[in-house]
Structure 1
Amino acid sequence: MKIVVIGGTGLIGSKIVAGLTREGHQALAASPNTGVNALTGEGLSEALAGADVVVDVANSPSFEPQAVLTFFETAGRNLLAAERAAGIRHHVALSIVGTDRMPDNGYFRAKVAQEALIKASGVPYTIVRATQFMEFLGAIADSSAVDGAIRLPGGMFQPIAADDVAAVLAETAIAAPRNGTFDIAGPDRAPFDRIIAQYLEAMADPRPVVQDPRARYFGGTVEETSLVPLGEARLGRISLGTWLRDHSPA
């Protein structure tokens, strides 16, 4: 099976390509680095020729609200039009758990727009919504630093390892389209501040963590269950403790 991975040289995409290749599939890493640019349309038709499935894990280079919306809408339209022309049988997209529950978060609004384009495209699809990646816990802490302390909103958090995200997406790519959405999350759920504090302790980072109801998550207001699955979700295999043990300083 030929499977084109849009964003195939990034954190998740490279893992998907490696996993599919090990399973004997023809997995093509498509990104601007390899001459395929969904934002401009460059190389799309050539990359999709003879393909069965497209997995879209591309990300916007800018998180500014208008820029990220433009990215996902423009790239989405270009990609889906190329898929229709190529006769793609399954479009798999990575989205975010709770993306439709935080309208004041510009990135989440852009993912809602991307999902709407997919659902209206006529291409059979599956949308996989994931919680935040464990690999980004450090960036979250740094972006939440105020006067030497990490200030975080309340609410629950349930991060998932990138390896688990990639494994689910690779499995989804070779399965039949669901024409629907499902959630994936890490196996450990705890208050946001407690998880970041656990991360900082494992990284020998002495900065204190403070729960602040006024703190925002990349511009969005966080309620108790804004960032975690509300119903049934597929859980990853890698616990936060295992991931921290494997990624903490020697």
Structure 2
Amino acid sequence: MKFAVMGGTGLIGSQVVENLNAAGHHAVPCSPRTGVDVLTGKGLGPALADAEVLVNLTNSPTFDHDSLAFFQTSMHNLLTAARSSPVGHVVLLSIVGVDQVPDLDYYRAKTLQENLLKADAVPYSIVRAGQFMEFVDAILSWTTDDGTVRLPRTRLQPIAAADVAAAVAEVAAGPPLNGTLNVVGPDVFSLDELGRTTLAARGEDRTVVVDDSAGMFAAVHGDVLTAPKGARIAPTHYADWLKRHSATGTRR
């Protein structure tokens, strides 16, 4: 099978391409650096000309209100191009609990993206993933001030990017779900606990304090970012991932 992987040169996309090609498929990475632009539509026609599956892993460059326009425009362009191509399956990567955080612009934008796909006639699959382990360092940086990291007690279930990519590749190679697969890591943390665990493993002297008004995740309430009923539990534990990445100095 041939796959056009939008966002195929990024953290998840590059691994999805690698996984699909290793399984004997033909996966082509598509991104602005390969001449494909989902916002302008440039290169979409040729990219999908003989593709059977379209995998959409593109992401907005911002997390604010502008992300709404990004996801609306890019999804419109992708679906329009897909209808004029052999594509019979569109796969979208989204976020666990995304439709239950209405106070976040970015989550509303991702929900809009999902809804646009569901409303179209093309068969589809949505893979909702937990927060990436690779993004924890960035989350800590958002609310760091003079050696103190302020974090809310938001509960989440982080997942390794490799496990996300494996799930996306598996779904893409199968029949359309016309529904959603949730996939998360095996461990539940409060965000402040996750911060302390990460900094200790890094040997850093920043101090984590609980502030339920701090950062983007302050808008999340309850357990909506943890595994819903029927979710797939990925194999990689955060402690194991952290040990490997701390030992190698890799902070992807």
TM-score range with shorter-chain normalisation? over 0.9
How far residue 229 of structure 1 moved from its aligned partner, in angstroms, is 2.4
Counterparts of 2:216 and 2:63 in 1: how far apart (Å)?
Answer: 13
- Residues 161-192 of structure 1, C-alpha deviation per residue, up to 9 Å, x if partnerless? 00000000000001110101121101111222
How far residue 123 of structure 1 moved from its aligned partner, in angstroms, is 0.7
Counterparts of 1:24 and 1:8 in 2: how far apart (Å)?
Answer: 17
Counterparts of 1:48 and 1:197 in 2: how far apart (Å)?
Answer: 45
Residue in 1 aligned with 2:213? 214
Residue in 2 aligned with 1:233? 231
Q: TM-score, normalised by structure 2?
A: 0.95
Counterparts of 1:112 and 1:21 in 2: how far apart (Å)?
Answer: 30
Residue in 1 aligned with 2:240? 242
- Residues 116-155 of structure 1, C-alpha deviation per residue, up to 9 Å, x if partnerless? 1100111100001111100000000000213431111123
Residue in 2 aligned with 1:30? 30
Residue in 2 aligned with 1:4? 4
Amino acid at match of 2:223: T
1:90-169 mapped onto 2 (5 Å cutoff) = 90-169=89-168
Change (3 A) 1:62 1:216: closer
RMSD between aligned alpha carbons?
1.2
Counterparts of 1:249 and 1:142 in 2: how far apart (Å)?
Answer: 21
- Residues 41-79 of structure 1, C-alpha deviation per residue, up to 9 Å, x if partnerless? 0000100011110110001122232x2111100000000
Q: Do the aligned partners of 2:147 and 2:205 also contact (CA within 8 Å) in 1?
A: no
Residue in 2 aligned with 1:53? 53
**Gaps spanning 5+ residues in structure 2: where?**
none
Residue in 1 aligned with 2:16? 16
Q: Do the aligned partners of 1:153 and 1:217 also contact (CA within 8 Å) in 2?
A: no
Q: Do the aligned partners of 1:49 and 1:86 also contact (CA within 8 Å) in 2?
A: yes
Q: Do the aligned partners of 1:3 and 1:53 also contact (CA within 8 Å) in 2?
A: yes
Q: Do the aligned partners of 1:153 and 1:222 also contact (CA within 8 Å) in 2?
A: no
Amino acid at match of 1:125: Y
Q: Do the aligned partners of 2:150 and 2:210 also contact (CA within 8 Å) in 1?
A: yes
Percent of pairs with identical residues:
48
Counterparts of 2:195 and 2:174 in 1: how far apart (Å)?
Answer: 35
1:187-202 mapped onto 2 (5 Å cutoff) = 187-202=186-201
Q: TM-score, normalised by structure 1?
A: 0.96
Moved more, 141-150 or 46-55: 141-150
How far residue 236 of structure 1 moved from its aligned partner, in angstroms, is 1.2
How far residue 108 of structure 1 moved from its aligned partner, in angstroms, is 0.3
How many residues align? The count is 248
Counterparts of 1:146 and 1:217 in 2: how far apart (Å)?
Answer: 16
Secondary structure of the residue aligned to 1:248 is helix
Secondary structure of the residue aligned to 2:92 is strand
How far residue 249 of structure 1 moved from its aligned partner, in angstroms, is 4.3
Q: Do the aligned partners of 1:102 and 1:108 also contact (CA within 8 Å) in 2?
A: yes
Amino acid at match of 2:246: S
How far residue 20 of structure 1 moved from its aligned partner, in angstroms, is 0.6
Counterparts of 1:45 and 1:90 in 2: how far apart (Å)?
Answer: 16
Secondary structure of the residue aligned to 1:114 is helix
**Gaps spanning 5+ residues in structure 1: where?**
none
